[in-house]
Amino acid sequence: MTQTISRTTTRADSRTAWRWLAALVLPIGPAAVALLRFLLPYDTTDDVPTITSKVVGNLDRGSLVIWLAYLAFVTLVPAVYFVGRLTRRGTPWLTGIAVCLMVPGYLSLPTTTSSDVLIWSAGTAGLDQAAIASAAGATHGSTDLAAAVFVVGHVLGTILLGIAMWRSGIGGRWAAVAVAVSQPLHLISVILSNHTLDLVGWGLQAAGFAAVGWAILRMPNDEWQPLR
């Protein structure tokens, strides 16, 4: 009997810690991307030589963007998992499709941003800008594939995840709408090279995920993960 009570207590403590971890992690990735897209020293419609010139001319900002990108890399996938483990209870198929789109999309991000790191590193080393632009423009084929997987995966996947949030009632209806519209707004901002709109788009996803985090904090441990 003593061993059974001990195991139950330990499990309950673990579930509380996981709920707090989920709530803290959820908004970090989208918020980091929102800031880096707003602070990006170049426009998405710029050519490689122009991007190189702007990054080399703003190395401090470029460094901050790279740090924010790393923060996003390590938190976006866990965030999708935490949302998905709740929405799958009400919408398992829709959640499964959303997660299968978003996870590969987010895992493709490091490849798509490799040129930014290259330009910043070469610029910091004082290399010739023409040579830097030439190297940055000579991308591997996997970079184009990663970009396509990222665009399709995170835009379509986030829309579906927002719908799953709506149907399952996780985080509130406003949070579901915020998540669903966030990436279409981001896509429009990329086409228009509007950094402020990009901040709003990813900011909406961060707000929606934060609402899910708040719901998790208010959730009893047995609802988060029933003891077996």
pLDDT tens series, the chain, 228 aa:
555 555 545 544 688 899 999 999 999 999 999 999 999 999 988 999 999 999 999 999 999 999 999 999 999 999 999 999 999 999 999 999 999 999 999 999 999 888 999 999 999 998 999 999 999 888 888 899 999 999 999 999 999 999 999 999 999 999 999 999 999 999 999 999 999 999 999 999 999 999 999 999 999 888 888 877
Asked whether residue 10 is assigned to any structural domain, the reply reads: no
Specify the number of domains making up the chain: 1
- Output DSSP code: residue 89: T
One-character DSSP codes across 20-88: HHHHHHTTHHHHHHHHHHHH-SS-TT--HHHHHHHHHTTHHHHHHHHHHHHHHHTTHHHHHHHHHHHHT
pTM of the model: 0.89
Q: Which amino acid is at 173?
A: R
Residue 76 lies in a domain: yes
Q: Is residue 2 part of a domain?
A: no
Is the four-CA dihedral 132, 134, 137, 139 of positive or negative sign? negative
Residue 4 located in a structural domain: no
Domain that holds residue 90: 26-224
Angle 197-83-222 from CA coordinates, rounded to 5°: 150
